[in-house]
Chains A and B, each alone.
Chain A
Amino acid sequence: MQIPYTVETRPDTGLYNAKLGIWLFLASEVMLFGSLFSSYILLRTGAPVWPHGRDMGLNVPLATLNTLILIGSSVTMVMSWASLKLKDFAKFRLYMGLTILCALGFMVIKAIEYSAKFHHHLYPSKNTFLAVYFTLTGLHGLHVLGGMIVNGYLWGPGAKLWKRDPERFTNRIEVAGLYWHFVDLVWIFLFPTLYLL
């Protein structure tokens, strides 16, 4: 059975189905991260004192570098989609490869940050700040990992679809891109609220 509306738009929504699907998924993701942010605000405003990220040993220069890397990966992701729109598959491969490398760089830096905390016996159980920090950054890190797996598939074996059905493959990249930009967007709020305030 053929999956309907993978390329052509549905008359009632004006969208291909995967695009509607990813936006519904992202709406649920907004609520997931929103509930954690809400809990963070509640815990922070309810606490008699709240430490500054720097005082808890958070590495602001490394996190700033990570922010720049993730923003960079968002640009390469959207450029990979634009390359397919321009029928330039080689450039798609280049930009998608760079996106995956940036994601890998982000995860390596995050691992360095985490290991520095563990080295100093700073675990989630130590205090509320660290519990919030590890929960939010850990969940975000899992999202980065998920994006890397999907993008890796689309860069590698999944790219065969380009030869069979280029428009459908371009739509897959757009959908993967929407997810990836959302992951970037979440970090844009996590970075100042955890590290800088």
Chain B
Amino acid sequence: MDAHAQAHDDHDSPEAIRRQTRLYILVFAALMALTVITVAVSYLHLSPHLAVLVALLIAGIKGSMVAAYFMHLISEKKAIYAILILTVAFFVVLMAIPTLSHWDQRFMP
């Protein structure tokens, strides 16, 4: 058996799956806690910029945990990473469109 097949088998062994399920419970607890924190922070009446920053930071951490552990992106095949790199690049362009509009309005004579 080659090294890659061996690694795949280790990853799918009952012991590995049981280890993963324990991890899922920990991630679940962390996601619950972060949800409560993000709601609590929203009642602190932070400045708008800081409030957006904190809310998106917490959402980013939560989203990354879901993607990394539940969607198994922490250990995936190269083909999926390739698709996602392309997706992220286009997503960044999409998010930049409002910024371009903002600068356009600011510097219009």
Contact = CB atoms under 8 A, between A and B. Distances in A.
B94 to A, nearest CB: 5
Contact of B12 (A72, A85, A181): A85
Contact of A45 (B18, B39, B63, B98): B98
A184 B101 CA distance: 30
B97 interface: yes
A186 B59 CA distance: 10
A82 B72 CA distance: 12
Interface stretch (A73-81, A124-132, A137-145, A149-157): A73-81
Contacts of A182: 71
A23 B76 CA distance: 12
Contacts, number: 124
A196 B42 contact: yes
A71 B31 contact: yes
B55 A192 contact: yes
Taking residues whose C-beta sits less than 8 angstroms from the other chain, chain B's interface range is 35 or more
A104 B82 CA distance: 35
Contact of B71 (A20, A86, A178, A197): A178
Contacts of B59: 188-189, 191-193
Main secondary structure of the interface of A (DSSP, over half): helix
B28 A38 contact: no
B63 A189 contact: yes
Contact of A86 (B18, B32, B58, B86): B18
14 contacts: A13-B77, A27-B87, A30-B91, A31-B94, A34-B91, A38-B94, A41-B98, A42-B101, A82-B24, A85-B12, A191-B35, A193-B55, A197-B48, A197-B52
User: What are the 9 A-B residue pairs with the smallest beta carbon separation, nearest first?
Assistant: A196-B42, A192-B55, A42-B98, A41-B98, A27-B87, A13-B79, A75-B28, A14-B77, A34-B94
Interface of A: 13-15, 19-20, 23-24, 27, 30-31, 34-35, 37-38, 41-42, 45-46, 60, 64, 67-68, 71-72, 74-75, 77-79, 82, 85-86, 177-178, 181-182, 184-185, 188-189, 191-193, 196-197
